[in-house]
Structure 1
C-alpha cells in the first residue's frame, strides 16, 4: 500500500482512462467498440473500473427476444423502441455528449420499474446510485455520484427540484462538488447518466427552455390489465438481456451519427411541446392579446391583470408579477418602462411601445389585486 502511495508509476489515473475509453464498453467477455460495432482486442491498452454484465452478440434481432418484444408492444409501443434502445445503450456506455436526463413517465403498471431493474442488473448495483429527483442536486446526493455510472430513481415525487443550475451542470457532466455530512467537500466531474421514473412528471421551481432541452421522455401509457400481468416478466427479460443490450449497443453508433438525437416518439415530443407552452404563458399572452405600437401605452397593473385572466381561461399557471414584467421587457427591444395614463387620467407605472389588440377585453386597474 505504501508503494502505491509514493510511486506514481504504480498508480492508475481512472479519470484519464475514462475519457480515453469513451468509445468502448467493457463487457463481461470482451470490449465493444461503438463505432466499429464489434468486440475488439484492446484489454491491455485500456483500463476500466467497471464491467457491464452482458455478452454481446452481433446480428441479433428483436425477434430473438420474444419477451422483450412483447414488453415493447404492451408498455411503450414500437414508435418508442429506437428511443428506448438508445437510452439503454447510452446508460451502459461512457458517452457524455448527449447531455440529457431520461424520464420514464406514465401511469402505473406499465413496466417502468421492470426495465430499469434489468438496466441496473446489467450495470451492477454497486455502480448505480438512487437519489430521488427532488434532492438530486444537494451536496449529500452529489457525493453519492462519484464513481457511479448511472443514477436510477424509480418513483418521482411531486416536490420540485429547487436547484435548476445544478441539474443542468450534472446532466452536462461538468465539475461539481459533493460532501457527506461532516465531511470535506470533494470536487469531481459527474460522468453518470440520470434516469427518473414515475407517475408524476419532473417539476422544477423555475422551469425554462434550457431544462426542457436536457430532457428525453419515454411515455408509458399502456396499462396492463390485472389478469394479464406477468409476475415473472423481469426474470424473463433478464434471461434475454444479452439480446436487449446487444441491440442497445448497436444503436449507439446511430445515436452518435445523429448528433445525439435520441429519437423521441411523436407523443413524447408533443409532451415536451406542451410543457414548453406552459412555461411561456407570458409570451403566449403577448402574442395573442397585445401588439407592438410606437405610440402604445399600457399600465403595468392593467397588463398583469389581463394576463392573469388569460392564464385562468387557458388553465395556465401565471408567472409572478415581477417575472412577468421582466418577460414583457425581454419580449421586444422597443418596449420600455415609463409613466402612462390610467383609465382615470392619472400617471402610473407602465410600459411604452405596446398596447392591447383592438377589441380585446382589457382588465381595469380595479382588477389588479384579483
Structure 2
C-alpha cells in the first residue's frame, strides 16, 4: 500500500469512527452554528489517531509513524467530510472548511527525532530498533514519541543472509574498502545522530556496471515513500527542496555535467536548514533533510567552487567493472528485494557501527584517486592556462596581460569546451589561488603571458616561485 492509498484508508477509518454531533442551541432553543474552533476541538477529540501540524502540513499518526497530507485540497476534503458527518449534511461552506483547517494548523508540533548520542532509533514495520553505542540492539514497541515520519517496509532479522546481494557487490565493487564505504553510507542514512560526517555518496562510471541495480535495491531498502528524487542541480529551488522534507534519502541520477550550484548542495549535505515552499503556501524552514546519493556516468562540473569545503563532502565511489551480457542476472533485483532486505539492513547497521567507531568513512585508495582526477578536471582555469600555454613572468618582463583580455580568452575557451565562464572575478580568484601575481596598470593585470609572446622576445622568466 503506497502513501496515497494508506491515507485514503486512514481517512475512511476516521470518518467511520466519528459520531454525529447533537445540534447546538442557544437559551431560546434555537439552533446556532458551531465555531471553527469548536469543530477543531471535536476533530481532535473524536479522531482515533493523533493529528498535528508541522512544516506547513497536517500529519496523522498511524501504525508507528506520522503520515503527511501534502495536498491542501486533500486536507480540505478531509475536513469537509468530517463536518458533513458531524452535522449529517451534504454540503459545507468553503469558508468554514478553510477556517477549521486554519485552526488545525495551530496544533503545531516539532517533528524531530529525539537526539541521543548513545542510541540510534530505526522505525521498522512492526517495531522500533534501538542501536546502542556499545553494540547492543534492542527491539521496542512503536510509540508516537519518536516522531518518525518514515517506516522501513520490513522487519529486523539478525540472522538474515544475502548471498545474491553479496555476489552483486563482488561483481560491481571489487575493492573491499569500497564495499565498506557503501555499508557505512547506508548506515549513515539511518543514523539520526550522524550529521557531523557531512558526506554525499557519488556512484559513478560508464556502462553496465551495477549503478542502476544498486539504486533500485537502495530504494527498496529504505522504502520508496521515504525517498525523494530531486536532482543536485535543482537544490537551490525552494519548491524542489520541499519535496525532500522528512525523507531519509534523496537520489539524483545522471547529474548534468554543468550547473551544480555548490552553495545549496553543501548546506543540504551538512544538514543545515534550507528554505522550502509548497505551491500557494508560505516559505518555511526545512530542518529534517535527507542524505544524498548521486548516480551518474560522469561527475558533474560545478560553479567553480574548488574549495576544501566542497570536496570534503564527497564520497566518490567508482563503478569500473563492466558486466557482460552473458554474466547478467536479470532477476537479481527481484531476488534481492523479495528475500534479502533484512540482511542488507544488517550490512548497513554494521557499517553504521564501524563508521561511528572509526569517526570517519573508510579511506579507499580508489576514492582518493577518483578525487584527485575530479579536482584536476573540475579546475577549468588550470586547464585553460595549460591548453592556451600561458606562463608566469617576473617584473623584468615589460608587461603582463590585463584581466579583461584574459577573461575574453577564457570565455572563448569555455564556449568551445561547453563550460560556464562565470565571471571575471571567478577567473581572477582562481588565477591568484594558482599563485599568479596581479598588479594595477590602469586596470587589473596579471604577470602572465602566452608562451608564444615569450618565445618571440627570447625572454625566459624565472618561474621557480610558481612551480
Task: Give the TM-score of the pair, scaled to structure 1.
Answer: 0.76
Quote the residue 1:300 is aligned against: 401
Distance in 1 of aligned mates of 2:267 and 2:188: 18
CA distance in 1, matches of 2:108, 2:379: 52
Distance change >3 Å, CA 13–CA 41, structure 1 → 2: farther
Superimposed CA distance per residue, residues 49-68 of structure 1 (whole angstroms, 9 cap, x where no aligned partner):
133345445577xxx42212
Question: For 1:326, which of 416, 422, 429 is the aligned residue?
Answer: 429
Question: Is the 1:37–1:250 Cα contact (8 Å) retained in structure 2?
Answer: no
Q: Kindly indicate whether structure 1 or structure 2 has the higher relative contact order, using CA contacts under 8 Å at least 6 residues apart.
A: 1
Determine whether 1:174 maps to 2:275: no
How far, CA to CA, are the matches of 1:159 and 1:318 in structure 2?
8
CA-CA distance at 1:187 after TM superposition = 1.1
Q: 1:37 to 1:220 in 2, by over 3 A?
A: same
1:72 to 1:184, Cα distance in 2 relative to 1, 3 A? same
Aligned to 2:445: 350
RMSD: 3.9
Map 1:16-55; keep pairs closer than 5 Å.
Answer: 17-20=113-116, 23-28=120-125, 29-40=127-138, 43=141, 47-49=146-148, 50-55=150-155
Q: How many corresponding residue pairs?
A: 340
Unpaired runs of 5+ in structure 2?
1-42, 46-50, 53-102, 457-467
CA distance in structure 2 between the partners assigned to 1:93 and 1:167 by the alignment: 20
Pairing 1:175-324 to 2, within 5 Å after superposition? 175-209=273-307, 210-238=309-337, 239-263=339-363, 265-280=364-379, 282=381, 298-301=399-402, 304=406, 321-324=424-427
> Over residues 90-131 of structure 1, what are the superposed CA-to-partner deviations in whole Å (9 max), with x where a residue is unaligned?
223323222111111112322212222222222222211111
Q: Structure 1 323/152 Cα, relative in aligned 2: closer, same or farther at 3 Å?
A: closer
Give 1:338's aligned residue.
440
**Which residue matches 2:195?**
96
| Contact residue 239 and residue 278 of structure 2 kept, 8 A | yes
Q: Could you tell me how far apart the structure 1 residues matched to 2:44 and 2:144 are? A: 26
CA distances 1:292-340 after superposition (whole Å, capped 9, x unpaired): 85767641249949x97xx99xx997966543333334555x944223x
* Residue number among 223, 228, 234 corresponding to 1:129 in the alignment: 228
Q: Higher Cα Rg: structure 1 or 2?
A: 2
2:263 to 165, 169, 175: 165
Q: Deviations over 1:265-312 (max 9, x none)?
A: 3223212111212344656859x975685767641249949x97xx99
Contact 2:186 2:352 in 1 (8 A): no
